[in-house]
Structure 1
Amino acid sequence: MKIAIGSDHGGFQLKKEILAFFAAEQKAGTELGKAQLTDLGTYSEESVDYPDFGEAVARSVAQGQYQYGILVCGTGIGISIAANKVHGIRAALCTEPFSARMAREHNDANILALGERVTGPGLAREIVAAFFQTPFAGDRHARRIEKIRAIEKNGCSCK
């Protein structure tokens, strides 16, 4: 499983914690540890704009370079909004493990968004594990995902 990860300055520390979590899982030889993560930035706590990193991760997932993405900003709200503007992206802001499981199982979410200022490192590890250990259920949920794709395809001619 290939995962792109990105954050703005407000999510930089939590992104580092998530990268460390995956490294520990790899060292432990777990299934989750087999994931290959690529950090698309930012690389410091210097102020940057979250849409830049939301778009970079989302485009890399939408173009098939990565199967999934993880995005982190201060709340997870802005960066998930930016990511969801990219065609084919279903970014889910999750604040606890149940939502993370449902985002994958029912919504086939392909990007997990988190907020550093609202989610501590321990809880973030639980959310990440729940998200990546849960498969998409398909069946009736696949029909709903197709409806989302149809909305995306038809767009909006709103002015």
Structure 2
Amino acid sequence: MGLSKTAIPLLLAAYGAANVAGNLVVGRFADRFTIPVLAIGLIALAIALAVFALFAAIPAISVSAFILIGLFGVAMNPAMVARVMRAAHPGPLVNAMHASVITAGLAFGTWAGGASIDVGYGLTAPLWVGFGLAVLGLVSLAPSSARRLSSEKIR
């Protein structure tokens, strides 16, 4: 059971529209609520990736998960930029570095997903790789959250 060839362009258009909608929402809140936006986005992304991997054979569920990945995945970029700009005390090349790290992450994720298929874990393996990377992203937020909580206690 799968999707027809004619459904693929529509699905990709819906994914793109979800990217735009997500960027519009996240862009509005990214500066003031950077860490919560990233945390909520990474949790939603991890759940969508896991649901997609678990129910890939059920079109309605896998398409819904795919759209959610579009809504939350790329859309976190404004919040990531806000975090980098705040942490790096903007220098002339800070955005170039951010773009380079994003590109390296895309290359690593693509390689790891392909390698997971190559070693025999199946076509849903890249979704689990993405799930793991989303969880690592959540872990990376812990130091920032701990600093914010400790500074609130001191006040």
Q: Could you say which TM-score interval applies, normalised by the shorter chain? A: 0.3 to 0.5
Structure showing the higher helix proportion among its residues:
2
The answer to which structure has the higher strand fraction is: 1
Considering Cα pairs closer than 8 Å and 6+ residues apart, tell me whether 1 or 2 has the greater RCO.
2
Indicate the structure (1 or 2) with the bigger Cα radius of gyration. Answer: 2
**TM-score with structure 2 setting the length:** 0.32
| TM-score with structure 1 setting the length | 0.32
